């Protein structure tokens, strides 16, 4: 049977739009991506292009390779102890975790697939360690690309790819809206799992943040925290990066204007609590259902346009 998606590919018409999703960075909060994708698929939303950064790249790779069910089964059964098994600690030189175990996990499930051969067009984002430039990985070995995109500076060892030394793309582009637009998507769903900074004002000159911006950042870091608790090195690194990503993300989403932003409430989920599957997924499902009517209206308009054109 010819699918609706196949018909769209071969029958161009005025007003036709393709759906893309940009999956954002945020460590274990990326469990919400699984819930969001499930709701969209159940609703019949055809996702034709995917971009991802860090955990978004990880989930996106499994989705585009047709392996999302395998990832879900694994995540459902992950315990706190088992999650620690993926941390192959090394003597600190350029990272605390070498990353070979997570790489093996991906290789076992994704094999030697190349990005350009995936079922769904995919790209992920990393950053050049030496220049800070955004690097878009849209061809070549899938596992190598994702491994680079998840290489959190200071935690994971940087990854050499195509002659570059790459680190986590979240430091330059936490929710890669323009990347999925570049793949060909017209209607873009952005999934933002970065922290919200309440009442934050971004100055027109992004190089000069106003005093109240920094006060808002300080408030964000202290609200709900036990000031007597001394964060460990992982929390310090991840907390600092999340502040930076929140700033970058606020500016980029404002300028890149995705059609829909899904922002699940996952901020009581620890950045390393990958074993809290039910919590992360349920928050993603709730957030997706909250915007489903808007997406559904677009899908119905698209179907009507197809019928009219045929």
- Cβ atoms of 145 and 139 within 8 Å: the answer is no
Choose, from 25, 149, 168, 242, the residue flagged as catalytic. Answer: 168
Of the candidates 137, 105, 123, which has an alpha carbon nearest to the alpha carbon of residue 63?
Answer: 123
Is there a catalytic annotation at residue 207? Answer: no
- Cβ atoms of 34 and 281 within 8 Å: the answer is yes
Choose, from 25, 51, 54, 151, the residue flagged as catalytic. Answer: 54
Is there a catalytic annotation at residue 168? Answer: yes
Report how far residue 29's alpha carbon sits from residue 26's, in angstroms, rounded to the nearest whole number: 5
Dihedral sign, Cα of residue 163, residue 161, residue 22, residue 282:
negative
Helix 55-64 vs helix 100-110: angle between axes, to the nearest 10 degrees? Answer: 20
Residues belonging to the active site: 54, 168
């Amino acid at each position: 049977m010819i699918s609706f998606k196949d018909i769209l590919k071969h029958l161009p018409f005025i007003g036709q739009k393709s759906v893309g999703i940009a999956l954002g960075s945020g460590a274990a909060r990326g469990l919400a991506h699984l819930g969001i994708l499930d709701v969209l698929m159940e609703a019949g939303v055809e996702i034709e292009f995917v971009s991802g950064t860090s955990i978004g790249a990880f989930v996106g790779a499994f989705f585009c390779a047709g392996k999302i069910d395998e990832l879900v089964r694994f995540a459902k059964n992950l315990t706190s102890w088992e999650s620690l098994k993926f941390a192959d600690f090394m003597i600190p030189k350029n990272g605390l975790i070498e990353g070979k175990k997570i790489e093996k996990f991906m290789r076992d499930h994704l094999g030697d697939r190349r990005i350009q051969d995936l079922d769904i067009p995919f790209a992920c984002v990393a950053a050049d360690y030496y220049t800070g430039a955004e690097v878009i990985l849209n061809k070549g070995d899938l596992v190598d690309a994702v491994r680079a995109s998840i290489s959190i500076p200071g935690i994971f060892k940087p990854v050499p790819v195509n002659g570059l030394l790459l680190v986590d793309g979240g430091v330059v582009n936490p929710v890669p809206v323009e990347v999925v637009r570049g793949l060909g998507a017209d209607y873009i769903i952005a999934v933002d799992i970065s922290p919200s900074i309440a009442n934050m004002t971004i100055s027109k000159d992004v190089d000069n943040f106003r005093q109240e911006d920094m006060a808002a950042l300080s408030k964000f870091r202290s609200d709900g925290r036990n000031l007597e608790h001394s964060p460990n090195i992982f929390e310090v690194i991840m907390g600092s990066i999340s502040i930076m990503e929140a700033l970058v993300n606020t500016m980029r989403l404002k300028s890149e204007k995705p059609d829909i932003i899904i922002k699940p409430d996952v901020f009581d989920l620890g950045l390393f609590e990958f074993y809290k599957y039910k919590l992360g997924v349920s928050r993603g499902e709730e957030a997706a259902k909250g915007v489903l009517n808007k997406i559904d209206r677009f899908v119905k308009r698209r179907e009507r346009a197809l019928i009219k054109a045929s």
